[in-house]
Structure 1
């Protein structure tokens, strides 16, 4: 049976391409350059599927959707737009669009959307609210981000459990907040908990709360994050760091929708949406026995993989300008990037992803007086940043053996080798008392000296690199007789 496809787009080339492609598949295609003609066809009951642009000469395509859904609620609407931001995708979905596709679109993807729309014709779209006047929550127009927008637009008004994968700094918590802030639970709490930041023996109490006397120090009843997030969203960051015993309790909550505080007997209803995130390979952890397979499938209902910044280089300019604009709103002078600066930013590998880019832009806003940021400033700022990270090759005791160069030792292996040589040289006799402090000094001295070298003698930066209080570092310099000038 022939289906009629209504197309509205002010771009003649797009109308031609769609008309030819859909006609070859046996569909009857009617194409118009404005919203008024499309509306006349719809009022007369014509069309089985609508394909519409957003920006047209006489009306915004998004504003047309509610009128179409009122007139013909079963008519599927596919929205295309060159305004390819997250808000466009969300608003199209919220107003009842069957599918949203950014321009330039993949013709195969559009044809697939038409076929799905025809197969599901007659099923009314769910009624949803709108999100007018919202600030832009995510930045990026790259194809990788467009796919993220499409998935988020479909997820915001559901309670489906979502597992966000991504390297550190890709914005996993920001995406979780988008799912909450644009969803139907947005008026309720958003509670985030980082599994890696909580002592293992306190995780269950943090999540589920505890009764008075449940353990030493529990002098009163304490509510957990599940209770605090009631009616809203609970974001479980770094879920791969959750101990197995806590995984078992979380699995039961996901299965039954109820939990019991530590030391309690009465169950509590868990009315929360669960969003989890990790930078770890959970499937590999399952093979190693450190993550429950059944919990993985409960969490991984909707997997969402965030791309690293190196895979979305076309977004760097927009992101960098956004971060500079933020510093301007915070009282810093306005700054602008020239084309060479943007090219230099794109050449960087960005191991810290978007978080690293934000840090760089904020540092430039504070430390450089120039209004126009050029490639020289970017190179200088990146070099200053790398001094504390990669300019000096400090030992990495936890680095896996397969990542070491041939013959390279870890710090622990090196210390053990020297200690074995020491005992061998003394023929097994016990050394003089105080060996621990002496070995510690032998490690501390080069570590502090290298840190001062890396920061050009800047004690504040060196203390930050070492994770020490500045006064503690000064005390160490005196005790070890290290002259700060050696680091310059």
Structure 2
């Protein structure tokens, strides 16, 4: 039967009662207090085998006490609970040396299981002070799905484990990768991102590993690759499922041996980077199709993280809306609020473009409407318009991003039966593809034509001409 003394600190009498009953039934001796000073007195006198404590106490914040506890008794497991269920709470708990973080309300069975594990295998974790200057919210949401992600991220911060982030487009995969970097032990190194889908396939190897002068036509000088640029930091490989097989083989060697050669080079170069990969595709399906190496998959998928689509965490929408309105206000757009009926409408919407679509909607509302309070009627009008995500889906169907060019054109010709379509087919199909593609790129870069041109892989002047010829409306970037 379990033994040990548990010190419980919480200013909520109901929480203390529940924990006392559950832990006593499990066989532990329990001591209860409603303040941090008593808890500190017990810990400093050597009492207790494990601590369960709330964050905000009447006399002191536990994050101010926790470093002193860990310095005095480094092997004392501390479980931190909080109703402030944010990403930063989970990170601070880990950074300050907590054994585990539990959001309120918590599951008693899970809590007693963690207590037993902590007492059987006490773990000493290094305490690293978090820079409060970066107190922003890189991730927003208090839903159970996001709480689990926060806990996983908190455990990964002080490791170099390779992480694979899976999620639909617009769920925030790069935000998670940046959080892993910005709050991890490589935070003082560079964060370098590369999107496999945005680079011509024959240039990906040179982009990743660099190239020597004369390695291929147009290689006028030696150029460093993303691995060299990210040395000492984090390399984020976005849309890893679009990486060609030749580059996959080179990447596998880097993960196995910790070194690579430039394109056209012969001397191995040592690399020191943390790899975080992301995809919106089913890599298992690509493996079965022979399009992705299974051995590379296992090397990348050391710690998998699934980001839920927004429709699976609609309870986070109010927090996200407030967050985005706050951001656009700081960028100079008018302050806005949203009424309850409008929020209810947002919860019912399916959000095919996920959090990115919600952010774009908030930006439009702040920029285009004079009303201080956003109503349900106004939202109904906005949500009835073609969204960026739907345009992206049309584009994907047209250019074989998940669909088939052959199937698209076959369906197009079928509509004419035995007759031929009218002349001008090339330019008509091209316009159908280009308009939503360029519009989606401009929306993704918030109207920044330089970034949109880079994203599309075209010359900036070419993009400007296309925008003018296709009569695409560009919202000015606020950045």
Root-mean-square deviation (Å):
2.9
After the TM superposition, which residues 58-457 of structure 1 pair with which residues of structure 2 at under 5 Å, given as runs?
58-121=59-122, 123-133=123-133, 134-386=135-387, 389=390, 396-397=397-398, 410-417=407-414, 421-422=418-419, 438-440=424-426
Per-residue CA deviations over 1:251-299 (Å, capped at 9, x if unaligned) read: 0000000000011111111111110000001111111111111111111
Per-residue CA deviations over 1:368-400 (Å, capped at 9, x if unaligned) read: 11111111111111123449948x999945689
Alpha carbons 1:399, 1:410 under 8 Å: kept:
no
Secondary structure of 2:361's counterpart equals: helix
How far, CA to CA, are the matches of 2:125 and 2:428 in structure 1? Answer: 70
* Structure 1 unaligned spans of 5+: 424-434, 452-460, 475-488
Secondary structure of 1:30's counterpart equals: strand
The verdict on how the C-alpha distance between 1:224 and 1:149 changes in structure 2, with shifts beyond 3 A counting, is same
1:49 deviates by 0.7
**Larger Rg over CA atoms:** 1
> Would you say how many aligned residue pairs link Structure 1 and Structure 2?
441
The verdict on how the C-alpha distance between 1:419 and 1:314 changes in structure 2, with shifts beyond 3 A counting, is closer
1:419 deviates by 8.1
Alpha carbons 2:67, 2:127 under 8 Å: kept:
no
1:156 deviates by 1.5
How far, CA to CA, are the matches of 1:394 and 1:213 in structure 2? Answer: 37
Secondary structure of 1:211's counterpart equals: coil
* Structure 2 unaligned spans of 5+: 437-446, 453-462, 472-479
Secondary structure of 1:421's counterpart equals: coil
How far, CA to CA, are the matches of 1:68 and 1:389 in structure 2? Answer: 53
Per-residue CA deviations over 1:461-482 (Å, capped at 9, x if unaligned) read: 9xx9xx98244247xxxxxxxx
1:232 deviates by 0.8
Q: Could you tell me which residue of structure 2 aligns to residue 472 of structure 1?
A: 469
The verdict on how the C-alpha distance between 1:37 and 1:294 changes in structure 2, with shifts beyond 3 A counting, is same
Secondary structure of 2:252's counterpart equals: helix
What's the TM-score, normalizing by structure 1? 0.84
Per-residue CA deviations over 1:6-47 (Å, capped at 9, x if unaligned) read: 111111111111111111111111111111221222122111
1:126 deviates by 2.3
The verdict on how the C-alpha distance between 1:103 and 1:276 changes in structure 2, with shifts beyond 3 A counting, is same
What's the TM-score, normalizing by structure 2? 0.86
How far, CA to CA, are the matches of 1:166 and 1:388 in structure 2? Answer: 15
The verdict on how the C-alpha distance between 1:393 and 1:195 changes in structure 2, with shifts beyond 3 A counting, is closer
1:414 deviates by 3.5
Secondary structure of 1:150's counterpart equals: helix
The verdict on how the C-alpha distance between 1:336 and 1:71 changes in structure 2, with shifts beyond 3 A counting, is same
1:129 deviates by 2.9
The verdict on how the C-alpha distance between 1:33 and 1:397 changes in structure 2, with shifts beyond 3 A counting, is same
How far, CA to CA, are the matches of 2:255 and 2:108 in structure 1? Answer: 40
How far, CA to CA, are the matches of 1:80 and 1:145 in structure 2? Answer: 16
The verdict on how the C-alpha distance between 1:313 and 1:419 changes in structure 2, with shifts beyond 3 A counting, is closer
Q: Could you tell me which residue of structure 2 aligns to residue 35 of structure 1?
A: 36
The verdict on how the C-alpha distance between 1:443 and 1:288 changes in structure 2, with shifts beyond 3 A counting, is closer
How far, CA to CA, are the matches of 1:394 and 1:198 in structure 2? Answer: 17
How far, CA to CA, are the matches of 1:368 and 1:330 in structure 2? Answer: 16
Alpha carbons 1:396, 1:410 under 8 Å: kept:
no
How far, CA to CA, are the matches of 1:387 and 1:329 in structure 2? Answer: 24
How far, CA to CA, are the matches of 1:366 and 1:300 in structure 2? Answer: 41
1:438 deviates by 4.6
